[in-house]
Amino acid sequence: MKLRIVALGAVLAVGSSAAALAAAGALQFPPRTVSDLLAICSVGQNDPMRTAAVSYCNGYVTGAVIVEKAHGMQKNAHPLFCLPTPPPTHSQALAAFGTWAHAQPSRLDQPAIDGLFTWLAETYPCANRM
């Protein structure tokens, strides 16, 4: 299970996207909005902030997933999402998160963590949810 959690963090942490929202040096750390998170997680290969952005994205997403998974394992808790086995590739997850966010532009202004969890719950619902 821990491997799947780390894999999802890596999924969103690596790769570039045509929807990259920030120019070099304009990244918002920590991300306040979904737009900020997408910018950090999809920074370009040649961006001078790439190493910091990829590392931050990996830590942010992995930490969020670990905390929610720990919460979901508590007695009478209902997991917010259930990751598939195997998890999606980094480019698949990043593209899906970006597509989801841009499908309703108001999502880009949501708090980053809320948007991430909403996307995870909608994309990876648990079959045995009560």
Q: Give the domain ranges of the chain.
A: 2-123
Distance CA 28, CA 74 (A): 33
What is the per-residue pLDDT across 22-47, written as a single tens digit (0 to 9) for each? 343 578 999 999 999 999 999 999 99
- Report whether 40 contacts 12 (CB < 8 A): no
**What tokens does 130 get?**
């009560």
For residue range 71-105, what is the model confidence (pLDDT) as tens digits?
A: 888 999 999 999 899 988 777 888 899 999 999 99
Q: Are 102 and 23 in contact (CB under 8 A)?
A: no
pTM as predicted: 0.76
Statement: residue 14 has pLDDT above 80: no
